[in-house]
Structure 1
């Protein structure tokens, strides 16, 4: 190839639970278009190695907060704009590559395997010869169809995802390397794809602990093998009920023996260790977790309200846990153990609080506007502790002190992952007795703050007790839904056809 390759960027990302009654609409994706796409990623800015190695063309990307199923009309709106923008780009530019910037666990009403469908539509515009490199979350799903339509595919190697940007950059570097290799035309790598009948939540597959730590530790060894370009392991997404949902290994490269041996090594290790995957923290009912926190001398003591985790796809407004916290006799008086609860949406409550102001005593009703399956709204009376405007997700946040519980109320749902999320609300989690957050495994800053913690098995759209959710469409047998297999799974790698060949 003479000159710098032209690479377009497009994709939609939303981790969506089919067990949540919530619906995700187009504005939730916060779409970026044209140069806004380039601006988001510093590693392709002008002056950087990748920025100078290729000419980058932003089409449209959208990254939504995890949630409920994406409304069909919203998907079609965004997908049609992606196609229109790519059509405009290809009218004036001969594209050499596409970075497909996705998550991999998006579900859309009345559709299955939507990332593969989106890429099929994209291929119709860009053609079969353009090299496509996809970057994904390790909690995404890689169907055979998606693997077929991509040329290069990789995912995070850490959970929590501290290597998110590193992974996206790697996907782009792999793409540039293939496009600028010293050949007349790019040589498409081989792809060895292995489906594994395991479907576990992220809270049992964190790379902070074994056996996931050692499993993902094998990836660099496989990549270092001659003839291998990349290796990736997908845990899959446990809270959606689609046939594609299960663990997958993909190894890409140029030598058949190297990629197949690498894929088999990773998949066999995953299967062999299936019974060793455990929760990343001690688990218990909410009552057991609160009792343990009250007995403990470790402060702050964190409790994950895991069933309604908004960063796994929960609606974020389940009131089941908050109601029980507020009714704990230990927290009824403002002199009791200091508890921070993050968080619960309540748009009408926010309006009442804004009108009353800091220091006022108000009675408000919050939650269960979307997910009222488990419990209805909660009405509480308390003192307005703080108010904050302008958050990207919440829009407006307020803190209401009810007894010794400081409840964070939001106009729209928001995850709480950073210490600044609290301190900007005049809350100091390091000085609290108990911090309860709607989350699964603790994100790095929370993990570093916690003197001790437990994961509460609470109800919601991302319930950690997977069998009680009632999956009906996943392939069976599937570990851990099925503990006895009549025969061992076939982990022989499938060599996926090249993307311009029929599947």
Structure 2
């Protein structure tokens, strides 16, 4: 019987985010499972929304015996500390060696992100795959699922037999990608030899807001990818959009093709690279300044039947933001945006003060601003208190339990409400609102700490979506960041040759 080891290590790292990612962040990751050891991995991840859940289901359906390792996830933030990286890596590879001691392994599946930067390993996934290959030797197949924000590297392609990124952003196919990576692993085992590989990198960065697969140009690029994969008959044609906040040479868009022969792999990779080069100018982002965006939202809401959504993209907790900057909130208050609800402000101190005061109380808060030193002083009425625990219901994270710690719904000025939490979470699920007694579909304006993931659950209920740029580290234009380690010639804006690495 085929025996396959399964583990994972997921983090998306922002080189310029103000707060590093520590071991504690893997132990309490908000809306995702905490660190799992072999005894708990299968039962905990099987009902969840993570990629490994899809891999587990596919393996069990194929009659595979799974050897669980360790698995861990932390929300996006600054680079992973050396301590945190080595602690989780040590668990995974200790478990891998123990699995080998119990008997031969036919393969290894890893649930990875692809955009992790550790303090001492900029290409963190490349290092993880190198260690796995060193333990297993050259002949045991290894595959991994990846987030499409992966900054794909030559080392990752070298040490893995195949890599399978999600096809969607918002990520509504995470389990499908895990299942595809497992299917590729089983195909590789049956083939009895490695796939031919082709690796390509694009010469310009795509801003995070231009990577949404629900709308052009990325929707069209992904359709072209599918057509190329079918025409060239490759086993996998993976497109990684890149995470344009990682300061290391391989930051950016990457392509990996896998086929039974080199000609097919090269044809698929070269075809997709040419397609992306032809679409370059279409990836220029459409962003509103916060003041302009709020004014437009108020005007649209006066005639709308559904909510106007404001996406606070630059403080996106899913991109390394802390979820606590107050620029958009200040603008909502200044313009008296009646019927606006902001999700969320991550501020444990303010949440604790609200819980101490009780529902109905008016409390003085120095709200948010813990990450950038710019809190907002308000007198807020406490409307609702919760423990911050709820089950996500949306298409991206449905089935995952969120645990945001003591949480409060407050009103810092008449007509404007804010969800204040003790832990950060990207605002991609309507359950975040409902657990504090707010029905999102009936609000005039929803302000969300998110760049794109919110679209999966909120775009269907929105009259209009406006992406706004208020203060925060997840800048809408990566060319404004102080990069020092990118590869020479990489252009930092689509269609602009003036700003290169």
Q: Tell me if TM exceeds 0.5.
A: yes
CA shift in 2, pair 1:45/1:247, >3 Å: closer
Query: Which runs of structure 2 are paired with 1:207-356 in the superposition (5 Å)?
Result: 207-225=213-231, 228-279=234-285, 282-296=286-300, 297-298=303-304, 299-328=306-335, 330-331=336-337, 337-356=338-357
Query: Which runs of structure 2 are paired with 1:73-112 in the superposition (5 Å)?
Result: 73-112=83-122
Alpha-carbon distance in structure 1 between the residues aligned to 2:59 and 2:120? 42
Matched, 1:427 2:427: no
CA shift in 2, pair 1:390/1:429, >3 Å: closer
Query: Which runs of structure 2 are paired with 1:401-480 in the superposition (5 Å)?
Result: 401-402=411-412, 403-441=414-452, 442-480=454-492
The alpha-carbon deviation at position 479 of structure 1 amounts to 3.1
Alpha-carbon distance in structure 1 between the residues aligned to 2:345 and 2:496? 41
Alpha-carbon distance in structure 2 between the residues aligned to 1:468 and 1:484? 13
Whether contact under 8 Å (2:283, 2:494) holds in the other structure is: no
Partner of 2:387: 389
Question: How many matched pairs?
Answer: 467
Alpha-carbon distance in structure 1 between the residues aligned to 2:440 and 2:125? 39
Which sections of structure 2, spanning at least 5 residues, go unmatched?
A: 27-33, 47-52, 390-401
Deviations 1:362-396 (A, max 9, x none): 22222222333xxx222211211111114334122
Q: What secondary structure is seen at the aligned counterpart in 1 of 2:406?
A: strand
CA shift in 2, pair 1:109/1:371, >3 Å: farther
Deviations 1:78-105 (A, max 9, x none): 1111111111111112111111210100
Alpha-carbon distance in structure 2 between the residues aligned to 1:301 and 1:174? 42
1:160 alignment partner, one of 170, 178, 186: 170
| Larger deviation, residues 8-17 vs 473-482 | 473-482
The alpha-carbon deviation at position 308 of structure 1 amounts to 0.6
Deviations 1:53-86 (A, max 9, x none): 3111111111211112111111111111111111
CA shift in 2, pair 1:202/1:481, >3 Å: closer
Partner of 1:363: 364
The alpha-carbon deviation at position 485 of structure 1 amounts to 5.9
Query: Which runs of structure 2 are paired with 1:36-185 in the superposition (5 Å)?
Result: 36-39=40-43, 40-41=45-46, 42-43=53-54, 50-181=60-191
Structure with larger Rg:
1
Alpha-carbon distance in structure 2 between the residues aligned to 1:462 and 1:43? 30
Partner of 1:22: 19
Deviations 1:12-63 (A, max 9, x none): 11111111111111232221121432231354558x6644431111111112
Partner of 1:500: none
The alpha-carbon deviation at position 458 of structure 1 amounts to 2.0
Partner of 2:9: 12
Partner of 2:31: none
Which sections of structure 1, spanning at least 5 residues, go unmatched?
A: 332-336, 487-503
The alpha-carbon deviation at position 259 of structure 1 amounts to 1.1
Q: What secondary structure is seen at the aligned counterpart in 1 of 2:249?
A: coil
Alpha-carbon distance in structure 2 between the residues aligned to 1:344 and 1:159? 24
| Larger deviation, residues 387-396 vs 145-154 | 387-396
| Larger deviation, residues 284-293 vs 473-482 | 473-482
**Root mean square deviation, CA, Å:** 2.0
